[in-house]
């Protein structure tokens, strides 16, 4: 459909969107407007000009520093732009050069950008903004509605046929699965086993990937969590032992787990998608509603979250699994189908 050289446009558009993702990543956790004020340096508050806003190139030419005050800019900014440019370039090639499905490219590219923002925010602050989860859910539903009947990598499974019905049901079963995990973990281990943002993220994953793809993404997240999470916990424990050996008794205890009754009530709200409607309300109204439901109000974030012992964000692993299914759906689907046939299913 598109010539191979057009890939440069996919990469350029991805880098530009990645620049906007950096705005979301900085402002959403802090509950700041993503529109006003215009882009500015967080250190000196100077408004950025056009030379400061060229994706990737501005960071390189300015050597990672603000042009006005000289303060070093986090390398996260350029990595987000590079990651999103790579993602859009991959999808451009996959659906516009090799394939001929521009709408699938559009929805997958936008969904992938939302996933990158979720990845970074959860890694930094241990939260997933409701706005991003709702945006991902709506993108999944619109994709299923506008491309209903179009082929997917999972057409060999009854739940792999794309339609609004299968997207809604897949979202429902994804929510049910993670609510069950959260409840069982809370009862058995007497601690919070799953964050509320993760439950809402899996609901959106179900709508976007359909049930077979969502389950494969979940399985991949478990493997990644076991390997990378275990390595991260080991290295972190060694670092803490080396630097805090003399203050072992000063470690703060973990906060009390969420009451089971509250978790059951919130699970019902997620299954009925009531929280999606709440997200459309003004922030102050949202806070009042959640406060009446016994949920803590989210505070504005000025610095990265100070993690507690044993805490590990699961959202980034879910994002990695989802992106893998989006980008490598055909080989993953083939491997799953071959395994099921070998196992006699």
Residue 304: count other Cβ atoms within 10 Å of its Cβ.
11
pLDDT in tens, 206-216: 999 999 999 99
Residue ranges making up the domain that contains 262:
128-241+254-345
Task: Judge if 93 and 170 occupy the same domain.
Answer: no
In a domain, 114, yes or no: no
Task: Judge if 140 and 30 occupy the same domain.
Answer: no
Residue 165 has pLDDT above 90, yes or no: yes
| Confidence label for 85 from pLDDT (cuts 50, 70 and 90) | very high
Residue 298 has pLDDT above 70, yes or no: no
Rounded distance, CA 242 to CA 230, Å? Answer: 18
pLDDT at 163: 97
Task: Judge if 94 and 132 occupy the same domain.
Answer: no
Rounded distance, CA 318 to CA 267, Å? Answer: 19
Residue 261: count other Cβ atoms within 10 Å of its Cβ.
9
Residue 19 CA, distance from chain mean position? 17
In a domain, 107, yes or no: no
324: its two tokens? 């893998």
pTM value is: 0.92
Task: Judge if 51 and 158 occupy the same domain.
Answer: no
pLDDT at 253: 62
Task: Judge if 171 and 50 occupy the same domain.
Answer: no
Task: Judge if 277 and 140 occupy the same domain.
Answer: yes
Task: Judge if 147 and 212 occupy the same domain.
Answer: yes
DSSP per-residue letters across 95-110: IIIIS--HHHHHHHHH
Task: Judge if 2 and 146 occupy the same domain.
Answer: no
| Confidence label for 229 from pLDDT (cuts 50, 70 and 90) | confident
Average pLDDT over residues 19-42: 90
pLDDT at 166: 97
Number of domains observed in the structure of the chain: 2
């Amino acid at each position: 459909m598109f010539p191979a050289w057009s890939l440069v446009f996919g990469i350029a558009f991805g880098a530009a969107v990645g620049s906007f993702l950096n705005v979301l990543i900085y402002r959403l956790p802090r509950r700041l407007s993503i529109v006003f004020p215009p882009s500015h340096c967080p250190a000196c508050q100077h408004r950025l000009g056009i030379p400061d806003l060229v994706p990737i190139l501005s960071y390189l030419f300015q050597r990672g520093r603000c042009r006005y005050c000289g303060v070093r800019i986090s390398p996260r900014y350029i990595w987000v732009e590079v990651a999103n440019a790579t993602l859009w370039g991959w999808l451009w090639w996959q659906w516009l050069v090799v394939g001929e499905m521009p709408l699938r490219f559009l929805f997958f590219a936008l969904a992938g950008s939302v996933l990158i923002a979720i990845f970074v925010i959860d890694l930094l602050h241990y939260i997933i903004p409701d706005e991003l989860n709702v945006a991902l859910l709506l993108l999944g539903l619109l994709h299923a509605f506008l491309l209903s009947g179009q082929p997917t990598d999972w057409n060999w499974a009854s739940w792999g046929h794309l339609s609004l019905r299968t997207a809604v049901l897949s979202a429902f079963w994804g929510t049910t699965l993670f609510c069950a995990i959260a409840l069982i973990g809370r009862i058995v281990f007497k601690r919070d086993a799953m964050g509320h943002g993760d439950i809402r993220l899996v609901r959106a994953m179900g709508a976007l990937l359909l049930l077979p793809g969502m389950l494969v993404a979940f399985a991949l997240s478990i493997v990644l969590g076991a390997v990378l999470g275990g390595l991260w916990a080991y290295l972190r424990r060694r670092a803490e032992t080396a630097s805090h050996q003399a203050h072992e008794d000063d470690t703060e205890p973990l906060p009390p787990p969420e009451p089971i009754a509250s978790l059951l009530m919130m699970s019902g709200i997620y299954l009925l998608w009531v929280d999606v409607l709440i997200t459309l309300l003004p922030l102050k109204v949202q806070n009042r509603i959640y406060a009446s439901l016994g949920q803590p109000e989210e505070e504005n974030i000025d610095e990265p979250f100070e993690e507690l012992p044993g805490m590990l964000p699961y959202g980034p692993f879910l994002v990695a699994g989802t992106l893998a299914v989006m980008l490598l759906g055909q080989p993953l689907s083939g491997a799953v189908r071959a395994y099921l046939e070998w196992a006699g299913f």
